[in-house]
Amino acid sequence: MDSCIRSVRDDHLIVYYNGNIITKINDSYNRLKYGEFMGNRVSHVFDDEAKIQETYDDRIFNCFYKEETMQIRKAEELCDTIKNKNKDDYIELFKDHYYQVHKTEIISGLIKDSFGDRVKVKGEDYIIDDRFMVDSNATAHFRVRTNKRIKMTDELGNDMTRRVRKQWEFLCIVVKTHGRGKKSIKTKIGLIELDSKLLEIIAKIIFLLRPNITDSVFVGQLPEWLSKTLKAEKEANV
C-alpha cells in the first residue's frame, strides 16, 4: 500500500493513519503528505543547493537554498513545487520569503550605498537631510518647528497644560519611478526583485535630495524657513 488516502472528496480527504480513520482538508499539502509520504514528514531535494525538509510540526518547513536556511510556513505552495519538481518556483518562493524577513536590512544597505549619510533609516522611515521624511507607505513629510501647549484635564479633574512638539507634516509630492520594468538588488542568494512600493520610496527620496524649488505647488506647502533654506542652497549651488 503506497498511500494513506482512502477516499478523495471535493473539500476533504478520508485518511487511514496510525490505525485511525481521520479526515483532512483536501489541499496539496495533505495530498502529498498522506499520499506519497504516507503521513511522514514531507521532504525533497532539488539538487545540492536547494532542498526542503518538513519540521516535526505540520506545515512548517526548513528550506535551504545556497548557504541560507529559512523556516517557511507556506505549505501548499512548497508542496506544489515538490509535486511539479519545479526548482525555479521554489527559488522564487524562497527569495520572496528572504526579502520579507531581511527587508529592513536590505533596504538600509541599499539606502546607505546609494545616498550615504544624507539619508538615515529610522525604523521604517527614511530621514532626508534631517528636514524631509518618507515613511514605509511612500508618504512624504517635512519637518516642522511646532512647540504648542494644549489644555488638558488630569485624573482628578484639574485643568493643566502640556507641551506638544510636532515633528512632521504631510507633504504632497508626485514623482515617477525611474525607468521601466522590474528592478533587482544583488544579495547573498542572488538577485532579488524590489517591490513597487520600495521603488516609489526611492524615487521620492531622490526628489527630496534635490527638490525642484521652481515647483510652486511643492514649495507652497513648505514653511518659510525651509523654503528659504532650499532657495539659498540652490543659489549657492550646494
Identify the helix (H) or strand (E) that includes residue 212.
Answer: none
The rounded distance, in Å, linking the Cα atoms of 92 and 72 is 13
Give the ranges where 5-143 is alpha helix by DSSP (H): 28-33, 75-84, 87-101, 103-115
The rounded distance, in Å, linking the Cα atoms of 46 and 207 is 45
Q: What is the pTM of this model?
A: 0.77
Q: How many residues belong to the chain?
A: 238
Looking at residue 237, its pLDDT comes to 79
DSSP secondary structure code for residue 57 in this structure: S
Strand partners, 7: 14
Q: Which residue has the cell 521603488?
A: 199
Amino acid identity of residue 139, one-letter, is: T
DSSP secondary structure code for residue 223 in this structure: -
For the record, the C-alpha cell of 148 comes out as 504648542
Would you write out the chain's pLDDT as a tens digit for each of its 238 residues? 568 999 999 999 999 999 999 999 999 999 999 999 999 999 999 999 999 999 999 999 999 999 999 999 999 999 999 999 999 999 999 999 999 999 888 888 999 999 999 999 998 899 999 999 999 999 999 998 765 555 666 666 676 666 555 689 999 998 876 555 678 999 999 999 999 999 999 999 999 999 999 999 999 999 999 999 999 998 887 6
Q: C-alpha angle 8/11/14, rounded to 5°?
A: 40
Q: Which residue has the cell 542572488?
A: 190
Domain locations along the chain: 1-40, 45-101, 116-235
For the record, the C-alpha cell of 141 comes out as 513629510
